[in-house]
Structure 1
Amino acid sequence: MQPTEKFLLIKSGQTFLTSFLTQKALAMPNPTRTIMPDEYCQADSVWIQEQMVKISPSMRQMIAVKYSEVYQDAWDRELVSYRQENRARHEANTRLRLFVERYHKAAMGLAEKPPLASTPAQIGKAA
């Protein structure tokens, strides 16, 4: 076997392996893409997934249900037909964004407990 033939075999083997792994990855469900709200706009699906990844897996189902409820409620409240989708997207995405910002910070430990009201603040006293 010539060196160029060996290279071609290795190259074709890598291509086969790459395509095989890609097919396997597409066949297997992605755990972050399994939970989606029942009602949402297709244009927001990637953004929703990015937000859901930031939340713990135990919270994702509850968030998906609430997102759907807010989306459907905003859709039903808007009387003008061409504004319904925009209103629903705005309401649901705003709620999801704010929740993720607040929950994500708290889950990372960036939130502190507020001081008790009964303890006066020590202002101006040096240690």
Structure 2
Amino acid sequence: MPHWVIVVDHDRGEGESLAPVARFDGTREEARRRLYETACTHRFSTSLRERRREVFRQDDDAYYVEIRGALGTYRLRYCLAERVWSSEEPPPVPRSTSAGLPDPGEPAPRYWSAPDQ
């Protein structure tokens, strides 16, 4: 299953800042739904007293958000990214039949051997 990250991009006055908001596994449809929910509800600052939030879709994988707070307006961009490569190898997935038994084409694991072997 694909691995996703939602990233928020915002201007902190000293240049842009990227920060991961969430990492998860899921389908593209699930990831896009989660991106939309994050753009509508994420609190990027605990001290922000939000008065108004506007969410604009830039494309299927990005939203532009303006949040009007007590002290000013904040402009954010929430983006979705799919992992396409990692230096860490995922653990091998054991193959099995629908009954949960080892695949006949694969050698049986030690725990499937008869007790007297």
Compare relative contact order (CA 8 Å, sep 6+) and give the higher one, 1 or 2.
2
The structure that is helix-richer by fraction is 1
Shorter-chain TM band: under 0.3
TM-score (norm 2): 0.26
| Higher Cα Rg, which structure | 1
